[in-house]
Amino acid sequence: MTDETETAITPATDTRIAPRIGQGIPEGDVERITTDLIGALKTVYDPEIPVDIYELGLIYKVDLDDDRNLTIDMTLTAPGCPVAGEMPGWVENAARSVEGIQDVTVNMVFDPPWDASRMSEEAQVALNWW
């Protein structure tokens, strides 16, 4: 879905999102939005796990188009998660709090399935997964 007129913020190898700069938004704005978005996503927790969704690696892809519309692909630790119906709304509300974002769409995806390798070292330490 990303072309050269969009800014794609995608997961890096450590499950973090990192910007690829597009043409329509100044680089400084993309960096600020990325930093603010990460901060906002880190406020959303799976109620059963004491680690935020960003550090858990539940955010798979984030696209920011030239009109500053944000599309987030995310997953859950398990498809049968009790908050599956609520968590996308929590993510949408958190992302909407970022200054400069015009609209937010959150897509729930399960391919590839989430596994513990997507967690950051911070999440692994918090969960004693060493």
pLDDT (tens digit per residue) in 4-62: 444 445 444 334 565 444 568 888 888 899 899 999 999 999 888 889 999 999 999 99
- Least Cα distance to 54 among 102, 101, 99, 18 occurs for 18
Nearest Cα residue to 107 out of 65, 59, 68? 59
Per-residue pLDDT reduced to its tens digit, 53-108: 999 999 999 988 888 999 999 999 988 888 889 999 999 999 999 999 999 999 99
How confident is residue 130, by pLDDT bands cut at 50, 70 and 90? low
Token representation of residue 66: 């030239």
- Check residue 48 and give its pLDDT: 85
Sign of CA dihedral 86, 87, 88, 94: positive
Nearest alpha carbon to residue 56 among 98, 17, 101, 95: 17
Per-residue pLDDT, 90: 97
First-residue to last-residue Cα distance in the chain: 37
Local confidence band at 113 (pLDDT 50, 70, 90 cut-offs): very high
* pLDDT at residue 27, as a whole number: 82
Output the pLDDT for position 14. 38
Residues 72 and 104: beta-carbon distance below 8 Å: yes
Query: What does the block give as tokens for 1?
Result: 């879905």
Mean pLDDT to the nearest integer, 109-122: 91
Distance CA 88, CA 108 (A): 7
Ramachandran angles phi, psi of 76, nearest 5°: -125, 160
